[in-house]
Structure 1
Amino acid sequence: MAVVNIRGVDIMFPFCPYECQLAYMDKVIEAIDMKFDTVLESPTGTGKTLSLLCSTLGWLQKQKSSFIPTLQDATQIASGSTGPLSFLPRIYYCSRTHSQLAQVVHELNRTMYKDIRSTVLGSRDQLCIHDSVRKQMDARTSVCRSMISRRSCQYYNKWDRELGSVPDIEDMVATGQKVCPFFRCRQVQERAELVLLPYNYIVDPQLRKLHKIDLAGSIVIFDEAHNLENICEDVTSVEISSIHIALAIQELKDAIQCLQNEIEEKASEIVGFLKLNWPKIAVFWISMLVLLRIVFPGDVLFETFESVGISFDKAELFCKVLLDTSEYLQQGSGYLFQCMRTATVMKFWCFTSSIAMRSLKVNGVRTVIVTSGTLSPLPNFIKNIGFDQIFAAVLNKSPLTEQVLNGCFQNRHNNEYAVGIAESVVSLAKTVPQGILVFFASYSLMDHLISKFKELKNSSQKFPSKSYWEQMTDAKLVVVEPKQKSQLARVRSEFTRGVQNEKGAMFFAVCRGKVSEGIDFSDACSRAVCVVGIPFPPLMDIRIHLKRLYLNELKTQSAEDWYVTEGYRAVNQALGRVLRHVNDFGMVALLDESREYFPSWMRASIKVFDKGSGFPSEVTNFFASKKLVITVRSRSHICL
């Protein structure tokens, strides 16, 4: 362990930190001290998670040690109260998925801060262990509440039993077979100094309320934040179906009747509010939803609400009444339903993430730290890691037939393009040792090219009877990312076992899919990462079209720049799988002639192959220079 002092804060680090880590922690401490919001870029492999944890928790420890407790705080400490000490900011560490949070827990347990009071927030989907509730795919919350009210859940009845510190989701489920992990997690949250959670729990006001998240004075960290913009836009967007409107109107009628029967006098004001011009509202929504594919500006929606008596000053009260009514129906004689037919849907989209982020500051957040693990300029990373550890290549043409590799939409279904990609992948399979990750721009492109790999055969005389797929499987074990999440663990295990064999393995996956983000493929599991095509958002998608129009009207960002950035951001995330720590090495290859939007620091070091014939020997020479010994460490977190 090493202790470094940064801006007066003693930080305990598991090892002697690199210059880029010291610089990173310096910016974190500065932001927290000065109550700044900050955006930090740090490529995969720089120990970003450790740097974030150690710097923020070191700062928190200093605050605790320098605090002179008041009588109220001393009483709270002595009594073992579960509430947080009022003077201490709480740290919310957010990542995109629970699998990414599990990696954060793993890193936390490597540090001297592992005994800090912390918890991982999860939903009933991850934490509930009651068989009857888990069977209710669309109604777990309602069924859970019903069982709790009847005291019929044996796990909830024992939920106050203590578990060990710093459990991740799997730990809580595994050790919570006699208690309720969901409510135990909530109990720990009340006194936690560090809360790990998916970032939609923070930016979505409804989820914040549901999970009782108090942001006042807190430090909010968004790690792996390359998708944060999209999440913020999603949580401030609304979708309303005609079926939901019809059911809502019926439930409100039921609520009015129930309230009148139970508390006629006291409920008169609420009942009068619920009777607010519902026939007129219903007529409008039903007629509006019939207009499929018609696009309106957002002002139309607000004007419509005002026409039926719901203005901005009444909106908050109106929403509160609806939420209270919904809870009343669930607790009493409410009912559950499933939509069995397709409904017309109205979508009210938000195209700026600033609305969701602004709400964090309104709620009193001390500091927001947004950080990304994508490949991006960072001179210290280049200095410490060195480009001799990574071989970056853009292949303009295939190795044998010199077929131009242009993955534009018009070319993707040409046999010539499929042959060019097949030749390139076969070449990688034969020259790269151990594990290879191949990312395709979309599931449809991956499925199409795999079918072509199996159909098309090499035209050379050396392999006249073998398809390209057979050549790939001769060189490596080939596994394909499943569309069902439940099958992913099995496929990953199969890939890991293949890497451990002398032959090695190759994983076909999709950019923005389950494998491209958040799973730690280090060392032998990712000696090469290859990207086939650029995953630009679909131009014909109405939401993408409207976002481009919005940006053009705003004139603060080019719609074309945003569109291209979205595609290359996904490419950079996939390529980031190759370097996971300072001693790791490997190669990245883009099988496409487009390269102008790579970061300038990387573009300068990319080897561009205008002729594919020289590609195999360059790859062979790179790995020969590493004097690679094929060994794979057995610890599961390396590949799994």
Structure 2
Amino acid sequence: MDMDTTSSNAIDFHHPYTPYDVQTQFMTTAYNVLETGQGQIGILESPTGTGKSLSLICAALTWLRNHKSKQYEVSLQTVGDDIKDEPDWIVEQMLRRKRDDLSRTWEEREQRLERIRLKEKADAVRSAKRRRVDDGREKSSTSKARASDEDTDTEWLLDDVDHESAESKAGHGDGDVFAGLSKETRDTLSLFGLGHSSTKQDDEDVMVEDGVKIFYASRTHSQLSQFVSELRRPVFPSSLPSSLSPQDEKKTERAQEQVKHLPLSSRQKLCINPSVARLGSQAAINDRCSELQQAKSKQKCPYIPKEDKLSQTHQFRDTAHATVPDIEDLYHLGKTLGVCPYYASRAAIAGTEIISLPYPLLLQKTARDALGIKLEGNIVIIDEAHNIMDAVANAYASQIRLGELKRARQMLGVYVKRFGKKLKGENRVFVGQIGRVVEGLSEWMDGALKLKNDQGIVDSRELLRSKGIDQINLFKLIQYIQASKLAYKIESYAAHIEEEKDPSKGKRAPKSSTPVLHTLHSFLVSLTNLSSEGRIFYQKLQGPTPDIQLSYLLLSPTHAFSSVATTARAVILAGGTMSPFGDYKDHLFPYLAGDKITTLSCGHVIPPSNLCVWTLAAARAGDATSTFEFSFQRRGDKTMVNQLGVAISNMCAVVPDGVVVFFPSYGYLDQVIATWEARQPGETKSVWERMQERKAVFREAKGGSSDEVLEAYSAAILGGAATTSSTSSTARGALLLSVVGGKMSEGINFSDRLGRAVVIVGLPYPNMQSPEWKAKTEYVEATTLGRLTDPAREGGPTKRDEAVTAAKQAAREFYENACMRAVNQSIGRAIRHRGDYAAIVLCDRRYGTERIRGKLPGWIRGAMREKSEEGGLPQLMGALSGFFREKRQKGGGGVKLGDG
């Protein structure tokens, strides 16, 4: 169901500021999705600059506190129902005792957390006086010399694997948090609630009953850190209902309750053991960490939670609940207490209200299992969700290069030469099978280097026939690699040999940016996941040495994401540019009924007068020869490209400060600049030269540093000296030429003076000739056709010819929506807060069509100048001049909003 308007029903969302109408609308819709529950999905769009993350926090935590309060009331009601046949005085006494127990338990926990908060504040004051720079990653001490070659053998020799046990962990890898741990360690961890056995906690560990949790995911750790900053702003009421709060002097204290937040991350971010953390790659860290917990390990990790670290683990948990920490805080807390934050954070999950984590840890079931995450009955909120379908595909993607396989073959050779005679039974068999897999994949890729096409789809059956890979049980081989820690042991031994050959490298643990055997393991997992939803592609790589890459791509996120959507109580996908919504309904949740999905596209908090949106369809109105259409067939038209340059140059004359222009691709940007640099016959200056006279010109390069370009661009606008040969002393502000989908189109803010105008050149359709996009559109077409012609379809199957037409249309929609999501993301770079203002120019006649315009966000469509597509450059210049003249007269400015 679509939600364009909604009422707040007088809900107090405890927003730290007075919310705007669009914020109230957003929070109310999110609250209603959570309240309805039962597998509800909310797809909510709120433009960047409208305080989206803070609104999500206020809606979700207000709902959670209200829900917890209702649950307390329900528990009291249950007690009353159980004893309703007893005399009234007994019922009253039992209810009073239950109220007192709940109230006392809550109060004891809150008082303990408050003591910790006060201690943390005092410690912060003291440490500020003697603070010194410390990255927390001490240089490791020199390792002791090994006693003998026999000790070396023990360290790297493959263990005998209990295959039955390995099979029980199939597909989990690091997904089993207890994989490879000794019984002693497992029993100890169970004391902290980490395991299947239950051990009674001591009296100090009394906690309020665990309940519904909110899992909040975003793309990067930096975005999650910003989220934590927003989480610290609002103050929420206690989860205790008023019936449990006696009318006494403590009522005020009970009126508020600090949010209990826990950030979760991988070992790579949280490991405090220097000898493990310095391994670099996540796969190597996971393997080494598990190895150090095994019973026979001579160098057990000193930080793993044990009996003698019970109090430290409790302190870790309580401090996390008391302080609203981010990942860095947990890391330093673990170091201070001398307890592993990766494992100790599991003990803090119980009692936590909101858990933040990056996309990959939520989207993969194996990662959720590793973190001890249970989604059943809980809330999932995914922010920056405009790229959720790509994020799901990336979470299951894998690739391997021929060069990596050659390196793997070399490692295996070195290892077998040293340990071959000591390998027994299954170890010998499985190492031999790995060698066959490496040889088989290498043989196929060597042959593919001779293929005419540089890229294409791989027939998986043909790939697996090489060297008889199809005769190997890949499932058991994958289980063996996981259980034996083969990848880590072989790679660490190979690194040891390299260090012996080159002593200048020093004695250090192996650190590889490309842990090839772990990469091979990931690719083998993909080979076992082949189905109608996945494809393998090859691509020849450019470089001094011929190389080729095999890549696995998940074509549909439907089933991969369904494990989240069908398990959670409710899922909210939120973003600044979620439009167009169709793909989420058709390709992420095609199995859900319409009443299970709520969509909302909020307006912006800026007044309408702060936005000028124009479709520039032609250089001259009514002149078909000057039409702007940057389609693949026409984009090479040099006359049109030069007219575009003239238009941009003229815009630079009236737009103050910064102008950002987005092109469809890096290749086309290079082509356009080359055309602009060429002087036309009879002209004294090229378009490029005239453009530089108007503004300092900068460009985004595919392989260059976006930070350096952005810094120079900002300096040219905000008063610094821009160090570039393109800078002219007469330039007013700066012009940045960028690419849709490039470094500047997402995650970088062109607020205020940095982006007074954003120009979108053409429609950045993906390359339909690429094997990946061919496979994607064919998959969409095939699945749509299958769904429409299914005899079991509700209402009966669609006629074949009608179904074929509809399937082709669905594939076209999917392709077009990918283009428009990228456009919408680029447009959103400009307006970043309520007082901001900017012009947006859509330079292509196709933006004037209802089909394309309908895929723009509502706030952009609403601000589009009526019939602007019928005008030309003179009309645009008049509109821009009037828009910025009005801003100069009013003085611009405004109040910024907090935005996640």
TM-score category, normalised to shorter length: 0.7 to 0.9
Q: Could you report, residue by residue, the CA deviation over 1:84-134 in whole angstroms, capped at 9, with x for unpaired residues?
A: 976333322222334443443443343336953335555688789999999
Kept in 2: contact 1:458–1:468 (CA 8 A) = no
Cα distance, 1:484 vs. partner? 5.5
Instruction: Establish whether residue 541 from structure 1 lines up as the match of residue 770 from structure 2.
Output: yes
Which of residues 214, 230, 236 is equivalent to 1:91? 214
Instruction: Establish whether residue 101 from structure 1 lines up as the match of residue 227 from structure 2.
Output: no
| AA in 1 matched with 2:844 | D
Match of 1:367 in 2: 570
**Cα distance change of structure 1 residues 609 and 193 upon mapping to structure 2, 3 Å threshold:** same
**Cα distance change of structure 1 residues 509 and 26 upon mapping to structure 2, 3 Å threshold:** same
**Greater displacement, 214-223 / 120-129:** 120-129
Match of 1:443 in 2: 666
Q: What is the CA–CA distance in structure 2 between the aligned matches of 1:75 and 1:273, rounded to whole Å?
A: 61
What are the residue-to-residue correspondences of 1:133-172 with 2, within 5 Å? 141-142=284-285, 145=288, 165-166=323-324
Which of residues 817, 837, 841 is equivalent to 1:585? 837
**Cα distance change of structure 1 residues 119 and 468 upon mapping to structure 2, 3 Å threshold:** farther
| AA in 2 matched with 1:580 | R
Match of 1:480 in 2: 699
Instruction: Establish whether residue 60 from structure 1 lines up as the match of residue 64 from structure 2.
Output: yes
Cα distance, 1:521 vs. partner? 3.0
Which of residues 685, 688, 699 is equivalent to 1:469? 688
Match of 1:424 in 2: 647
| AA in 1 matched with 2:696 | L
What are the residue-to-residue correspondences of 1:4-403 with 2, within 5 Å? 10-33=12-35, 34-44=37-47, 45-65=49-69, 77=109, 87-112=210-235, 116-121=259-264, 141-142=284-285, 145=288, 165-166=323-324, 184=341, 187-188=344-345, 191=348, 192-209=352-369, 213-242=373-402, 271=427, 274=430, 285-286=441-442, 288-290=444-446, 292=448, 295=457, 308=471, 310=473, 315=475, 318-326=477-485, 329-330=488-489, 334-336=493-495, 343-361=547-565, 364-374=567-577, 376=579, 381-382=602-603, 387-398=608-619, 403=626
Q: Could you report, residue by residue, the CA deviation over 1:125-144 in whole angstroms, capped at 9, with x for unpaired residues?
A: 87899999999776894499
**Cα distance change of structure 1 residues 181 and 529 upon mapping to structure 2, 3 Å threshold:** farther
Q: What is the CA–CA distance in structure 2 between the aligned matches of 1:168 and 1:386, rounded to whole Å?
A: 35
Cα distance, 1:166 vs. partner? 4.5
**Cα distance change of structure 1 residues 25 and 399 upon mapping to structure 2, 3 Å threshold:** same
Cα distance, 1:327 vs. partner? 6.0
**Cα distance change of structure 1 residues 36 and 73 upon mapping to structure 2, 3 Å threshold:** farther
| AA in 2 matched with 1:42 | E
Q: What is the CA–CA distance in structure 2 between the aligned matches of 1:356 and 1:271, rounded to whole Å?
A: 33
Kept in 2: contact 1:6–1:29 (CA 8 A) = no
Kept in 1: contact 2:22–2:603 (CA 8 A) = no
Cα distance, 1:184 vs. partner? 4.6
**Cα distance change of structure 1 residues 322 and 481 upon mapping to structure 2, 3 Å threshold:** same
Kept in 1: contact 2:50–2:897 (CA 8 A) = no
**Greater displacement, 196-205 / 393-402:** 393-402
Cα distance, 1:616 vs. partner? 0.9
Q: What is the CA–CA distance in structure 2 between the aligned matches of 1:70 and 1:589, rounded to whole Å?
A: 60
Q: Could you report, residue by residue, the CA deviation over 1:362-407 in whole angstroms, capped at 9, with x for unpaired residues?
A: 7x43322112321748998459655433211111223799843222
Cα distance, 1:534 vs. partner? 1.6
**Cα distance change of structure 1 residues 331 and 193 upon mapping to structure 2, 3 Å threshold:** farther
Cα distance, 1:213 vs. partner? 4.3
Kept in 2: contact 1:458–1:467 (CA 8 A) = no
Which runs of 5 or more residues in structure 2 are unaligned? 1-5, 73-100, 114-190, 194-206, 237-256, 293-298, 449-454, 496-511, 517-543, 581-598, 720-730, 786-806
| AA in 2 matched with 1:368 | V
**Cα distance change of structure 1 residues 227 and 91 upon mapping to structure 2, 3 Å threshold:** same
| AA in 2 matched with 1:581 | H
**Cα distance change of structure 1 residues 416 and 36 upon mapping to structure 2, 3 Å threshold:** same
Match of 2:710 in 1: 492
**Cα distance change of structure 1 residues 491 and 284 upon mapping to structure 2, 3 Å threshold:** closer
Q: What is the CA–CA distance in structure 2 between the aligned matches of 1:441 and 1:73, rounded to whole Å?
A: 60
Kept in 2: contact 1:133–1:140 (CA 8 A) = no
Kept in 2: contact 1:236–1:355 (CA 8 A) = no
Which of residues 568, 576, 588 is equivalent to 2:820? 568
Kept in 2: contact 1:435–1:505 (CA 8 A) = yes
Q: What is the CA–CA distance in structure 2 between the aligned matches of 1:75 and 1:248, rounded to whole Å?
A: 59
**Greater displacement, 77-86 / 30-39:** 77-86
Q: What is the RMSD computed on CA atoms of the aligned residues?
A: 5.2
| AA in 2 matched with 1:326 | K
Q: Could you report, residue by residue, the CA deviation over 1:532-566 in whole angstroms, capped at 9, with x for unpaired residues?
A: 22211112211111112222222365222211211
Q: What is the CA–CA distance in structure 1 between the aligned matches of 2:634 and 2:7, rounded to whole Å?
A: 56
Q: What is the CA–CA distance in structure 2 between the aligned matches of 1:16 and 1:361, rounded to whole Å?
A: 33
SS in 1 for 2:485: helix
Instruction: Establish whether residue 623 from structure 1 lines up as the match of residue 884 from structure 2.
Output: yes
**Cα distance change of structure 1 residues 438 and 252 upon mapping to structure 2, 3 Å threshold:** same
| AA in 2 matched with 1:228 | I
Kept in 2: contact 1:7–1:30 (CA 8 A) = no
Instruction: Establish whether residue 404 from structure 1 lines up as the match of residue 404 from structure 2.
Output: no
Q: What is the CA–CA distance in structure 2 between the aligned matches of 1:180 and 1:503, rounded to whole Å?
A: 55
| AA in 1 matched with 2:471 | V
Aligned residue pairs, count: 619
Kept in 2: contact 1:422–1:468 (CA 8 A) = yes
- Higher-Rg structure is 2
| AA in 2 matched with 1:235 | A
Kept in 2: contact 1:220–1:365 (CA 8 A) = yes
Cα distance, 1:199 vs. partner? 1.5
Match of 1:512 in 2: 741
Q: What is the CA–CA distance in structure 2 between the aligned matches of 1:542 and 1:86, rounded to whole Å?
A: 53
Cα distance, 1:12 vs. partner? 0.6
Q: Could you report, residue by residue, the CA deviation over 1:445-489 in whole angstroms, capped at 9, with x for unpaired residues?
A: 223333443444697xxxx5444334333333333335468x434
Cα distance, 1:56 vs. partner? 0.9
Q: What is the CA–CA distance in structure 1 between the aligned matches of 2:378 and 2:664, rounded to whole Å?
A: 38
Which of residues 775, 779, 783 is equivalent to 1:554? 783
Kept in 2: contact 1:5–1:11 (CA 8 A) = no
Cα distance, 1:214 vs. partner? 4.3
Q: Could you report, residue by residue, the CA deviation over 1:216-235 in whole angstroms, capped at 9, with x for unpaired residues?
A: 44322122212111221233
Which of residues 591, 596, 599 is equivalent to 2:854? 599
Match of 2:451 in 1: none
Q: What is the CA–CA distance in structure 2 between the aligned matches of 1:73 and 1:320, rounded to whole Å?
A: 45
Task: Using structure 2 for the length normalisation, give the TM-score.
Answer: 0.57
Kept in 2: contact 1:391–1:586 (CA 8 A) = yes
